[in-house]
Amino acid sequence: MLVLWLQLSAPPLLNNFLTRLEYLVYDQRLRVMPKAEKTEENKIVIVDLDERSLQAEGQYPWNRIKVGQLTEKLRDYGALVVGFDITFPEPDRSIRDLLATVDLRALGEGFNATLSEIEPQIDSDQYFARVMQSGIDVVLAINFNPQTDAKYNELPESIVDIDPELADKITVQDMTGFTGNIKVLQDAALGNGSMNHAPDMDGIVRRVPLLFRFGDSLFPTLSLEMIRVYNFLETYEVVTQSYADLEVIRAIRIGTGAGAFEIPTDGLAQVNVPYVGSSSQLDDRHFLYISATDVLQGNLNEGERGALQNSLVLVGTSAPGLGDIRAMPLQQVYPGVEVHANMLNALLNSVTIVDVSSGETDTQSVFSSFSRPENVYFPYKPDWEAGALFFIIMVLGIGLSLAFPFMGAAAMASTAVTLIVAVTWLNFQLWANYMLDFGLVLIVLVILFVTLTNLIYGFLAESQTRKTIKGMFDQYVPPAHIDSMLENPDNYSFEGESKELTVLFSDIRSFTTISEALSASELKTLLNDFFTPITEIIFKHNGTIDKYVGDMVMAFWGAPLDDDNHRGNAIKAALEMLEKVEALKPEFEERGYPEVNVGCGINTGFMNVGDMGSTYRRSYTVLGDAVNLGSRLEGLTKFYGIKLLIGGETAKELDGFLLRLIDKVKVKGKHEAVECYEPLCVEATAGEQLKARVAAYHKALDAYQEQQWDDAQSEFETLLEGEPECKLYTVYLERIETLRTADLPADWDGAYTHTSK
């Protein structure tokens, strides 16, 4: 009943939401199903005012002499019809503006002409108009606007053959304003058509109206007008069907007599655009693009010359700065002129012949037949769709409601999935075989809603129990741990295991000083406000909180849930934690709290992980040498004056971060030297200056490790001049002074031994 209500009388908000879902289905069908074809016989060429043309010929708008020359060139190359996907709403002032900058007296004493005498001799608009009447058929664009009543220039006479009273009744999109062409050009053109695309509510162009209404007159779209001119036809006829007081458009008939043909439309005179593909790859476009400057300069190859012969040419732009960029189902950034090209391609193929010799009008278009005529190239919604949807929803809803109470959860879920796959497959087959744009969302919704209602009813008590348990323990152990136990209770074991993990230690610097400056209540508030966002960041990056010890937080990655990217997630969490600490400083300062700084240590290795403790208290934790080393690395951040330090094992197989090698160290309790690194940032965000500084640092470090003390000292001193507050450079400069006179062993590898934790 809910789905039937959505179909018959959904409120605007829900109706818009369902419409957007149907748009998604439409787009996916268009993506995965076979596309419309462009045959070699349909010679459609786009002359592009691209960036190269604008650079070569000057910024748009061009003067009309250049536009006229472009049209002349197209005529000479054999183009039959040229459609301009641009308007010419104002007289060309470029020649006048140019002459106004010229000192005519400088042309010589014998030159006595004035600006007013010269200007009529160079009328660029008249020149363009004469070119349009010199053996080439030109169709100009009109820009209609449904959101304003501004009218610019005059509209041409409507050539759509329809009674004025009927024109006022039919269901077609109304326009309240327009921008037309200046009269001298409009009169010279053989046709005028709308350049508007009428995108859907999500901004994507899926359909194009073949007709618009302005006042009591109807005007065709640019592509339809080019087809009329191309076929030497005189007029259009609107085929309608009466429903009460409405006249619903069924098709547009072009021409009269035996040569007429019809284009089936929906009730708003719209057709779905049968896109032949995307336009993302310049070398793989489905329509031939020729740069306008190449046409003007005659720089065409043989293939381009042959393509222009007996062709229909659209003059438009793909330059982003000129604003004719649209979104279509296959591509978000799409030249608007190519929408007209796809329409032209389909219109050239749409030759549904109508026998009108008897004088009778056949209003039963292809919509009245379920079979697909071979000559229908526009996907369409059948007029019986609403009744069919109602019947399907009733049958599915009642059938599932009767059957599901006798089925288990697994059987219900599998039945629902099978039905959804089946109706989706059938829907896509109707599109592929019959060009039917049939609704799918409501059918899927009735299956989902009935299934979910039964599942929710059956599992309500169990779900409530799971929710209660999870709510109790989420505060103490990681939510992922609870989820794992709830989802797989039989597979979960309290036994420990050894696996490669990454551990993080983070400690507040000078915490003793901070705690002495605050009361117990203030200290508790500070720690809560600090650990809450820090914990949120760790959980966000799939980490598990091990414990809080005073001002220290310990976390690890890779357990209880496996994480193939435990190294990268730990470092991302640490970098974000450091950013969050900086963001908290102003807030804490405003409250009168001391400044908070942290150090983070990260290490990777094999660790023992599991529930460990006593019969009274247990904890899900990690143990091992790799864990201890992570703690030591956190402590070393203070020695080097940095905020984040990672072990060599963490740096292995790590991609996407800008690292610098800090040192080779022997920490307390370890005899082997360990390399430690500082992740500075995600590599994609690193600036060139930072990369250069890191490269200079590694150059200095190489000299240090090779015992080239003078070079190393010079490099570190240069770095220190640029970063006088960097303690790391000072550490190395002090070492160099000590090591210059030290008796180093032959196998000295640059490692430094730390005696404190």
pLDDT, average across residues 122-126: 82
* SS3 label, residue 435: coil
For 344, other C-beta atoms within 10 Å of its C-beta total: 24
CA angle 513, 518, 520 (to 5 degrees): 115
pLDDT, average across residues 181-195: 92
pLDDT, average across residues 529-535: 91
Question: Are the C-beta atoms of residues 544 and 480 closer than 8 Å to each other?
Answer: yes
- H/E stretch holding 138 reads strand 137-145
Burial 33-63 (b: 16+ CB within 10 A, else e): eeebebeeebbbbbbbbbeebbeebeeebbb
What letter does residue 170 receive in the DSSP assignment?
B
574-604 tens-digit pLDDT: 999 999 999 999 999 898 888 899 999 999 9
Rounded to a whole number of angstroms, the CA Rg of the chain reads 37
451-483 tens-digit pLDDT: 999 888 877 756 665 665 565 456 445 566 667
The string of DSSP letters for 211-245 reads EEEETTEEEEBHHHHHHHHHTT---EEEEEEEETT
pLDDT of residue 699: 94
User: Regarding beta strands 207-209 and 270-272, do their DSSP bridges make them parallel or antiparallel, or are they unpaired?
Assistant: antiparallel
Task: Give the distance, in angstroms, between the CA of residue 422 and the centroid of all CA atoms in the same chain.
Answer: 30
How many contiguous H segments (helices) and E segments (strands) does the chain have? Answer: 25, 29
* Per-residue confidence band for 549, with pLDDT thresholds at 50, 70 and 90: confident
> Is the predicted pLDDT of residue 371 greater than 60, yes or no?
no
How far is 473 from 253, CA to CA, in rounded Å?
Answer: 71
Tokens for 59? 């910024």
> Is the predicted pLDDT of residue 19 greater than 90, yes or no?
no
397-439 tens-digit pLDDT: 999 999 988 888 888 999 999 999 999 999 988 888 888 888 8
Partnered with residue 314 across adjacent β-strands are 46, 83
Question: Are the C-beta atoms of residues 361 and 247 closer than 8 Å to each other?
Answer: no
The string of DSSP letters for 320-331 reads GGGT-EEEETTE
> Is the predicted pLDDT of residue 362 greater than 70, yes or no?
no
Partnered with residue 253 across adjacent β-strands are 237, 262
How far is 627 from 641, CA to CA, in rounded Å?
Answer: 22
Task: Provide φ and ψ at 242, rounded to 5°.
Answer: -85, 135
pLDDT of residue 275: 87
Percent of the chain at pLDDT above 90? 37
Task: Give the distance, in angstroms, between the CA of residue 482 and the centroid of all CA atoms in the same chain.
Answer: 36
Task: Provide φ and ψ at 141, rounded to 5°.
Answer: -100, 150
Task: Determine if the pTM surpasses 0.75.
Answer: no
How far is 123 from 68, CA to CA, in rounded Å?
Answer: 12
Question: Which position has the higher pLDDT, 271 or 118?
Answer: 271
CA distances from 432 to 280, 351, 428, 443 (A): 24, 20, 6, 19
Q: Outline where DSSP puts E strands in 550-597.
A: 552-557
How far is 431 from 424, CA to CA, in rounded Å?
Answer: 11
How far is 732 from 704, CA to CA, in rounded Å?
Answer: 8
How far is 450 from 398, CA to CA, in rounded Å?
Answer: 9
pLDDT of residue 112: 54
